Amino acid sequence: MRSFSDPETCFSFVDGAAIDGHHVGEPGALRCCCCGAQVPLDGPEGHQTAVDDLPHDRDCPQRDVVSRYWMRRFAD
């Protein structure tokens, strides 16, 4: 497992103008630069999403990237 802050990983933010309920220039979703998987930053339940929620393609080289929180909670 690798951290999303590893310099070899790449994620981007999708402009909120493309997501309902967000303003232009406001980040609306998180996207994987390798496979294009994305999740909204504010889900319908109001919870914050993270790199752990990205539905990567099966062959995505970033599929093993998780947050430090996920590592502590589930991998220890």
pTM: 0.77
Which amino acid, one-letter code, is at 75?
A: A
Structural domains in the chain (count): 1
Domain range spanning residue 22?
2-75
Q: Each residue of 32-60: pLDDT tens digit?
A: 999 999 988 875 555 566 788 899 999 99
* Distance, CA of 48 to CA of 42 (rounded, Å): 5
Report strand pairing: 27-32 vs 11-15: antiparallel
Distance CA 36, CA 14 (A): 11
Count Cβ atoms below 10 Å from residue 7 Cβ, excluding itself.
5
| pLDDT tens per residue across span 7-25 | 999 999 888 776 666 677 7
Residue 55 sits at the vertex; the CA angle it makes with 52 and 59, to the nearest 5 degrees, is: 110
